[in-house]
Amino acid sequence: MAIEINPKHPGAYHNRGLAKDSLQDYLGAITDFTKDIEINPWKASSCELRGNSKYELQDYSGAIDDYTLAIKINKKYSDAYYRRGLAKIKIGNNNSGCRDLRKAVELGLPEAHEAVNKYCQ
């Protein structure tokens, strides 16, 4: 309803994207996060969330692109480094993936420690 009232309301697309993602409608979520990014191109969280949906669809290269965009917007976005690291490892780029995971640890993301221990020894 909010989108019908104001089709340029980025929060509505963001929230609907979250709902679609939680329902495992990843393609629908990607569409909504893309619209949110078109309206507000400096919204790092929507870039990361779109990457998460792509990751779930095993589009690891697309996910990496979105995580990279989120990091360009916010150099201290620990979740984006963490998730980009995992995606890089999925495609066999372990060295670069581990660098990202270690950066997430450096930025204070607790779950990144476990991933470093699992993948980067």
Residue 1, pLDDT above cutoff 80: no
CA distances from 80 to 22, 28, 56, 87, 109 (A): 19, 21, 15, 10, 10
Residue 118, pLDDT above cutoff 70: yes
Residue 93, pLDDT above cutoff 80: yes
Q: Once rounded to an integer, what is the mean pLDDT over residues 51-74?
A: 98
What are the extents of the domains in the chain? 2-119
Query: Would you state the pLDDT for residue 9?
Result: 74
Mean predicted lDDT score pLDDT of the chain: 94
Classify 2-119 by CATH class. mainly alpha
How many whole angstroms separate alpha carbon 15 and alpha carbon 96? 32
